Amino acid sequence: MPLKDCVFSPRDIRSSTRHSRTMDQQDNKIAVVGAGLVGAACACMLSRHGFAVDLFELRSDLRLSSKLSVGRSINLALSARGLHTLRLLGVADEILERHAIPMYARMIHNVDGRTEPIPYGASGQCIYSVGRKYLLELLLFRAERDDNVRLHFDHKLLRARFHQGSLEFSTPDRDAVTKSGYRAIIGCDGVFSRVRQDVMRCGRFDFEQKYIDHGYIELCIPAKDNEFQMAVNFLHIWPRGEFMMIALPNQDKSYTVTLFMPFEKFEALTTAEKILKFFETHFPDSIPLIGRESLIQTLTTVEVSSLASVKCSPYHVGGRGLLLGDAAHAMVPFYGQGMNCGFEDVSILDELFTALGTSDLEKPFETFSEVRREDAHAIVELALYNYIEMRHLVNSVWFRLRKKFDSSLHWMFPKFWVPLYTSVTFSRMKYSECISNRAWQDKVLRNSLRSIGLLALGVSLAYAASRMRINVRLH
């Protein structure tokens, strides 16, 4: 099954011109709720199509703070889908040149301290470690420089009324503020989306939210003598079957370390002695890197964060409302596709506006729901599967043999045999097609192994029969 591009092919992007809001634009307003990564990117994209955009955010402007909200600092793995959208917005080069660290392989850490790299794809293919706070700041500054976009922080959404084109907020100085006159309201407000709650009120809406019984805590490997303490161009993984730890490099030469495991195991680490014994048993090489005091301090004082996934449909309310990013399809972080998938939502909507126009928003919104639902549900499931792969399967002989086999065939037939991870991470193939492509490959392998087995059996039987004939002649 050959490699296919996304449903809307990438196109040449011309730089957009900045415009001041005119009276015509005042009648062409769109509200974007949620000034996170996807919301900020969406606001910039909408401006390119001539919309006047109000971007609302529950929190204060994070650019005025030195820290992110608790539980929001998992490093981001930027790959092809996200880069496509950042190029659309004209910020990809700055990110890649100044703030992204390439990671060419997984570096597996065994209990005995041995390490072994497993490349992600073909030579030179990599994903990029990018700090969430930096990337969000860059997108907010990009939005702020656009005359068509206005930022509104400290706005807590109370109610979205899609058919009236109005929003009700509370702010630090007012209990109720109404904003109105919007052609459409777009919800980019995350896994616990308030906009999605109001979409549910419109009826005929499917929604599913699942928590997994594993949580996470973040640790840190600091720089030493202003240098990285481990090999830098890798995503480091300590796979331990039921749980795992990962580490991604940062610009300041530190590593953000995340420990994922069942809640009951976290709950068992009640004392300094138990914490140190646990790490000495499972992650001994990490102790001198993280530091004993830091381990004890973090695991005795920081609350374990939860991991949830969300599926829903449809994503639109006529031409008056739309859900993007985690508001539409939240996933666990194990495929590194949450941000990339959300950014891809933005680029697909951009392509739909170009293909279908913006005079009737119901056409592009409805088409977005139709083309995105199956793919969004597919990547939610793939993200759950990759957790099993990362914490367990990477240690199996079969997994490594399959990885080498896939890489070899991909090198020989790059358009014909595309490994699952390569199709998800290094292409814009639809997520659902990535899964069907893998299923086709599995079928080919099963049939090939079956044929080889039958051939070997036939050769063995023929050899045995010939030996029997020889023995009969001798006697």
Mean pLDDT of 229-238: 96
Strand 174-179 to strand 166-171: parallel, antiparallel, or no bridges (unpaired)? antiparallel
Block residue for tokens 């990599």? 126
CA distance 99 to 195: 32
Does the structure show a pLDDT above 50 at 4? Answer: no
Does the structure show a pLDDT above 60 at 133? Answer: yes
Q: What is the largest CA-CA distance in the chain?
A: 107
Mean pLDDT of 96-103: 93
Does the structure show a pLDDT above 80 at 32? Answer: yes
pLDDT tens sequence across 307-317? 999 999 999 99
> Residue 387's pLDDT is what?
80
Token readout for 2 is 């050959």
Least confident range of 16-20, 38-42, 69-73, 88-92: 16-20
> Residue 5's pLDDT is what?
43
- The one-letter code for the residue type at 318 is G
Domain boundaries, the chain: 23-103+124-211+308-390, 214-301
Is 453 or 131 the better-scoring residue by pLDDT? 131
Strand 321-323 to strand 182-187: parallel, antiparallel, or no bridges (unpaired)? parallel
Helix (H, G, I), strand (E, B) or coil at 285: helix
Helix (H, G, I), strand (E, B) or coil at 307: coil
With beta carbons less than 8 A apart as the criterion, state whether 160 and 200 touch. Answer: no
Question: pLDDT above 90 covers what percent of the chain?
Answer: 71
> Residue 314's pLDDT is what?
97
Q: What number of residues does the chain have?
A: 475
The closest alpha carbon to 315, from 204, 209, 424, 168, belongs to: 204
Q: Strand order in 101-103's β-sheet? A: 76-78, 127-130, 101-103
Least confident range of 91-100, 223-232, 394-403: 394-403
Token readout for 324 is 């993007």
Strand 101-103 to strand 149-152: parallel, antiparallel, or no bridges (unpaired)? unpaired
User: In this structure, what DSSP letter does residue 62 have?
Assistant: G
Fold exhibited by the domain 23-103+124-211+308-390: FAD/NAD(P)-binding domain (3.50.50)
Task: Say if residue 450 is exposed, middle or buried (CB neighbours under 10 Å; 0-12, 13-18, 19+).
Answer: exposed
User: In this structure, what DSSP letter does residue 27 have?
Assistant: T
Q: Residue 438: what are its φ and ψ, rounded to 5°?
A: -65, -40
> Residue 443's pLDDT is what?
79
Task: Say if residue 415 is exposed, middle or buried (CB neighbours under 10 Å; 0-12, 13-18, 19+).
Answer: exposed
Mean pLDDT of 270-284: 97
Mean pLDDT of 464-468: 64
Question: pLDDT above 70 covers what percent of the chain?
Answer: 84
Q: Residue 387: what are its φ and ψ, rounded to 5°?
A: -65, -45
Does the structure show a pLDDT above 70 at 250? Answer: yes
> Residue 384's pLDDT is what?
87
CA distance 189 to 208: 17
CA distance 22 to 43: 17
- The one-letter code for the residue type at 71 is G
> Residue 415's pLDDT is what?
81
Give residue 62's Cα distance to chain centre.
21
Cα–Cα–Cα angle for 315, 319, 320, nearest 5°?
85
Give bridge partners of residue 131 from the DSSP assignment.
none
Distances (CA, A) of 83 to 53, 135, 427: 23, 12, 11
Is the bond leading into 2 cis (omega within 30 degrees of zero)? no
CA torsion, points 35, 36, 41, 46, in degrees to nearest 10? -30
Is the bond leading into 314 cis (omega within 30 degrees of zero)? yes
pLDDT tens sequence across 69-86? 444 456 799 999 999 999
> Residue 9's pLDDT is what?
39
Is 420 or 186 the better-scoring residue by pLDDT? 186
User: In this structure, what DSSP letter does residue 334 have?
Assistant: G
Block residue for tokens 């896939």? 406
- The one-letter code for the residue type at 147 is D
> Residue 3's pLDDT is what?
42
Helix (H, G, I), strand (E, B) or coil at 2: coil
CA distance 338 to 325: 8
Block residue for tokens 């029997």? 468
Does the structure show a pLDDT above 80 at 20? Answer: no
Does the structure show a pLDDT above 90 at 410? Answer: no
Token readout for 257 is 């370390």
Mean pLDDT of 369-385: 94
CA distance 120 to 80: 13
